[in-house]
Amino acid sequence: MQDPRMEGAWTAFRNILDTSPPHEATQNLRDLFVPEDVITALIKRHESEATKFVTLKEPLGVGRENATRWYAGPRNGDRNWPAFKGHIRKSLSEESVRKIDEASDKVVAMMDHPATSVFSSRGLVVGHVQSGKTSNFTAVIAKAADRGYRMFIVLSGIHNALRRQTQARLIRDVVNLNPTLWHQITKLEHDFMPLPNPAALLTAKDQHLLLVVKKNAPVLRKLKKWLSSAAPHLRNCPALIIDDEADQATIATKSINPLIADVLESLPRVCYLGYTATPFANLLADPTGKDFYPRDFILSLPRSDEYQGPEKLFGRAPVDGEEPESVPQGLDMIREIPDDEAALLRPAKRSEAASFVPEMTASLRSAVLWFWLASAARRVRSGRVDHSSMLVHAHSDTRVHDSYKVPLEALRRQVLAQLSSSDGALIEELEALWAAESDRVPAEQMNEIPLLIEDVIAMIPGVVADTRIIMDHYRSTDRLDYESGPATVIAVGGNTLSRGLTLEGLVVSVFVRSSDVYDTLLQMGRWFGYRPGYTDLPRIYMPAEMRRWFAHLATVEAEMRMEIDRLLEEHKTPLDLAVRIRCHPKMLVTAPSKQKAAVRAAAAYGGALVESRYFPTASEQEASTWLESNAKAVDRLMEAAVRRGRHDPLSEGKALWREVPTEDVLRFLDEYRFHKMTTEAPGKLMSAYITKRHALGGLHSWNVAVVGNRPSATGRTLTLATGMTVGLVVRTRTAASKGDAVADIRTLTGPRDEGLDLNLDGKEAVNRTKLKRIRSAKQPERGLVLLYPIDPQSAPVDPTEEDSVSKKQRDRAALAAPGKVVWGVALVFPDPSRGKDVEVEYDYVSADLSNVFPIDSDEEDEDFSVLEQDLDTDEETAS
């Protein structure tokens, strides 16, 4: 039964929490002679409600495990969040609103109680490119304002366009919904300008202050000076700083970075929240300096299944612990621009930018025609004209942007003339393009409404006539404008379109920009996001290598978020364990100036399944040499297994030898060549790990298995070095890698192959977790090598057949490798049986935490030199 003494006490306690942290609130109750058992019950209830936002649910977070829980969600009487919630309900589904509510609750719960006398914390919120970061921090602002935060400073990129866009959204979504509660210090028309008499603003208890400020040196100096003039009044003004695009300009710049740090130091009660979808620079910042390492917490925002992000568009490799069949394969929306065409779409050297003239290549023409078809299809589906955009991103030089005006306008005029004369050749070209693209990405598979080509063609003249070709860069006067009505635009640009700014209704992207930096590439991917009503229509045109890089980045991103999960599960803060980031042999994680404090991380293979995935196929001589060398390595391993192992008969087409000495496996790894794109499986790294673990008494022997088919089940067979004949297995390549120099088979092993040596019941359901557990019990410290004889001509099932198997093969192509056999290899590493796993230096980087704890508070911060262009420019010329 409810304790009658609790009546009213709970409401009183929560009201006290609005102005006092929990420990002060409990003392206030004691001063009011509330009995101790009631106070204990109130605290228990409060902690129970507040803790629900730091449980292992999305969005996942790292840090502040020992911090006092103070926020338990919105309350009756709140004004800012209910108003914003009601506003977004008009345009978003209830499910989307619920996710924004839950995600922002968790962010606020990680922040400091605004009534704490002094605080200065730093957190990082990791979102997804084009996936609602602004909605999240708008909700956070609203909820923090309802709880007592009074000053809100939003650092909104380095460009005027993004600052203006952010100011406009916050005016619409926060200020205008409760105008009496807010005072705008920055305006839509201009950035920060110092106001006289700051004391009057800072002492008005019912007023919240909003500043949307560019990360621009002169602006930040003015803000710092203004805050310094108001220092006595800031003690009663809890502040929240939102750093949008927190990896841009904030990290390792010699003017912007210290100025932002000075602004924080001016505020005695401040929480800094960095928001970015590409946190590589933030995660590699110096934890001991002023470089905004997220020392207190990291949060990862969720995204819904409808979000078209890197892994959904490009696919990715499995990461540790994942079932291969559960990993996204990638949508068939990427169209390859041949290298010879890419050379006609961008200058080969920067010095050639001034005289460069792009050609209307077949790929560029196809992209523009598909843009018009897709925009017409959207009009048919919705019955109205919506924003529809195409992006051409070829170079950073604005002269290259301008050079696209002539060929694009010429194509537009030509198509308009052909449409007005009912040119049959153009109509046939459009119909063929629609048929081909609709077949590759059927509308029904994406839960969209199929359309008749006649209805789409009927809309084409209006779409082409409405199309404007915009050169969007800091020197142009004709900029993107989505505020003056529905826009159908082909936007050509570079840096101004690669950060934060949203291209509304983006359908088609042509991307030949040369970049080899993780965060730069991901931020240029404006094509990520939600496409309601046209999820089947987006297309991305890019060179094959660029597509492979984005697939690698999808794997990096997934693994990074798993690292965040790992820290949360282990109740570690970012100062306890650093998030590791996987490297790439041809790419940089972030700019060199932003990772000076980074160190090479260590990795361990305990419990891992590592398999070959990439095989050379294009150059027959090179590929043949490679594959023949691998075949000889496999023959030598099998000969050693026969000579030194114990044969264990298996079903026809398979062979197993147990207890093969570790030195034979090490010799095999020295000889077998994993392709360099298989970044998780370099032979030298695995050899180093096995050697180190073996020296400590682990991995004393290995089982070696050949995983083939029954000879009678296939037309192609192979006689092994042991004299045994097996049928070759089929492993097709992804359709996306068709024609590439390297075939990507994505997954080598079958679902039960990892347990081939465990004497499993054939009817028993298993997954990777269960197999690892069984291996630890049955085969401690014994690894497994799986050898797959792959048919080099492996062909997919005929995609015209309508059965469940052929549907899985829709996105596959023939392996088309030279020679008689392609040997695939997988290694299964058991979990260590003697406690902690050994580690070897790996191609990962992380923040250097070695000097975190012995910091001398009087020690000078490290002076970062900067390799990138400094952003110390006048406000009027900042772009």
- pLDDT, one tens digit per residue, over 241-251 is 999 989 888 98
Strand partners, 185: none
Q: Classify domain 63-300 at the CATH superfamily level.
A: P-loop containing nucleotide triphosphate hydrolases (3.40.50.300)
Residue 804: is its pLDDT beyond 80?
A: no
Sign of CA dihedral 759, 765, 768, 770: negative
- For position 335, what pLDDT does the model report? 96
**Adjacency order of strands within the sheet including 646-647:** 609-611, 822-828, 782-790, 701-707, 654-661, 646-647
Residue type, 386: D
Percent of the chain past pLDDT 90, that is, above it, reads 46
Helices (H), 441-574: 453-466, 518-524, 544-569
Predicted local distance difference test score (pLDDT) of residue 61: 60
Q: Which amino acid is at 779?
A: Q
Q: What is the pLDDT of residue 506?
A: 93
Task: Using alpha carbons, list the distances in angstroms from residue 634 to 49, 131, 640, 661, 822.
Answer: 59, 47, 10, 15, 11
Instruction: Answer yes or no: are the C-beta atoms of 832 and 686 closer than 8 Å.
Output: no
pLDDT score at 656: 96
Name the band, by pLDDT with cuts 50, 70 and 90, for residue 521. Answer: confident
Token couple for 298: 């990291």
436 contacts: CB under 8 Å, gap ≥ 6? none
Contacts with 382 (C-beta within 8 Å, 6 or more apart), sequence order: 533
Q: Cβ(268)–Cβ(297) under 8 Å?
A: no
Residue 631 region by backbone torsions, left for phi larger than 0, else alpha for psi between -120 and 50, else beta: alpha
Alpha helix (H) ranges present in 393-488?
398-403, 405-420, 424-440, 453-466
Average pLDDT, stretch 391-413? 93
Question: Sorting pLDDT into bands at 50, 70 and 90, what band is 806?
Answer: very low
Residue 862 phi, psi dihedral angles, 5° rounding:
-65, 140
Above 80 in pLDDT, residue 420?
A: yes
Q: Does the pLDDT of residue 303 top 50, yes or no?
A: yes
Helix (H, G, I), strand (E, B) or coil at 242: strand
State the Cα angle at 311 between 53 and 438, rounded to 5°.
125
- The DSSP code for 385 is -
DSSP per residue over 251-288, as a string?
SS-TTHHHHHHHHHHH-SEEEEEEEES--HHHHTS-TT
Q: What is the pLDDT of residue 208?
A: 95
Specify the pLDDT at position 541.
96
d(CA 215, CA 879): 11
pLDDT band at 845 (very low <50, low <70, confident <90, very high): confident
Q: What is the pLDDT of residue 205?
A: 76
Cα of 797 vs its chain's centroid, Å:
33
651-668: pLDDT as tens digits: 888 999 999 999 999 999
- Which helix or strand (DSSP H or E) is residue 202 part of? helix 198-202
Rounded distance, CA 433 to CA 417, Å?
20
Structure tokens that stand for 275 in this block: 């928001």
Token pair in block for residue 727: 């049928």
Mean pLDDT of the chain: 85
At 678, the pLDDT band (50, 70, 90 cuts) reads low
Closest CA to 466 of 481, 486, 491: 486
Structure confidence by residue, pLDDT tens digits, 256-265 = 999 999 999 9
Higher pLDDT, 7 or 481: 481
Q: Is residue 472 scored above 90 in pLDDT?
A: no
Enumerate the β-bridge partners of residue 391: 491, 509
User: pLDDT confidence of 762, banded at 50, 70, 90?
Assistant: confident
Tokens of 206: 């019912």
Bigger pLDDT: 429 or 581? Answer: 429
Strand order from edge to edge, sheet including 598-603: 581-582, 840-847, 598-603
Closest residue by Cα to residue 467 from 505, 424, 421: 505
Q: Is the pLDDT of residue 1 over 50?
A: no
φ/ψ (deg, to 5) at 127 = -100, -155
- Average pLDDT value for residue range 825-847: 84
Contacts of 349 (CB under 8 A, 6+ apart): none
- Residues pairing with 209 in the sheet: 151, 183
The torsion of the CA quartet 215, 219, 224, 226, rounded to 10 degrees, works out to: -140
Cα 44 from Cα 46, distance rounded (Å): 5
Distance of CA 184 to the CA centre of its chain: 33
Quickly count: other Cβ atoms within 10 Å of residue 594's Cβ. Answer: 27
pLDDT at 436: 96
Tokens at residue 1, please?
A: 């039964």
Q: What is the pLDDT of residue 712?
A: 76
Better-predicted residue by pLDDT, 764 or 743: 743
Q: Quick one: pLDDT at residue 17? A: 65
pLDDT band for position 302 (50/70/90)?
Answer: confident
Amino acid at 264: L
Higher pLDDT, 5 or 588: 588
Predicted confidence (pLDDT) at residue 783 exceeds the cutoff of 90: yes
pLDDT tens for 315-360 read 988 876 677 777 888 899 999 999 999 999 999 888 898 899 999 9
Q: Flag whether pLDDT at 553 surpasses 50.
A: yes
DSSP SS3 for 692: helix
Say if residues 275 and 102 touch (Cβ distance below 8 Å): no
Q: What is the CA radius of gyration of the chain?
A: 30
DSSP SS3 for 650: coil
Q: Using alpha carbons, select from 315, 311, 318 the residue that is nearest to residue 747.
A: 318
Q: Both tokens of residue 333? A: 């929306």
Element (H, E) at 30: helix 22-31
For residue 197, what are the CA distances in angstroms to 182, 203, 361, 495? 17, 11, 61, 38
Looking only at the bridges linking them, the beta strands covering 151-156 and 208-213 are parallel
For residues 21-47, give the mean pLDDT: 72
At 49-88, the pLDDT tens digits run 655 554 434 445 666 766 667 888 888 889 999 999 999 9
Using pLDDT thresholds of 50, 70 and 90, give the confidence band for residue 384: very high
Per-residue pLDDT, 811? 73
Q: What is the mean pLDDT of residues 115-125?
A: 92
Q: Supply the pLDDT for residue 197.
A: 81
CA distances from residue 140 to 57, 118, 168, 867 in whole angstroms, order as listed: 18, 21, 17, 35
User: Which neighbouring-strand residues pair with 824?
Assistant: 788
* Residue 861 pLDDT level (bands cut at 50, 70, 90): very low
Find, among 362, 353, 367, 158, the residue nearest to 248 by Cα. 158
Q: Is the pTM of this model over 0.75?
A: no
Exposed, middle or buried, 82 (CB in 10 Å: 0-12/13-18/19+)?
Answer: middle
Give the H or E element holding residue 4: none
When mean pLDDT is compared over 453-467, 534-548, 773-787, the highest value belongs to: 453-467
Mean of the pLDDT values across residues 636-650?
A: 93
175 SS3 class: helix
Instruction: Choose between 307 and 343: higher pLDDT.
Output: 343
**Per-residue pLDDT band at 860 (split at 50, 70, 90):** very low
Encoded tokens for 474? 């800091």
Confidence of residue 571 (pLDDT cuts 50, 70, 90): low
Give bridge partners of residue 734 from the DSSP assignment: 812
Planar angle of CA 200, 201, 205, nearest 5 degrees: 100
Q: Quick one: tokens of 450?
A: 């199929």
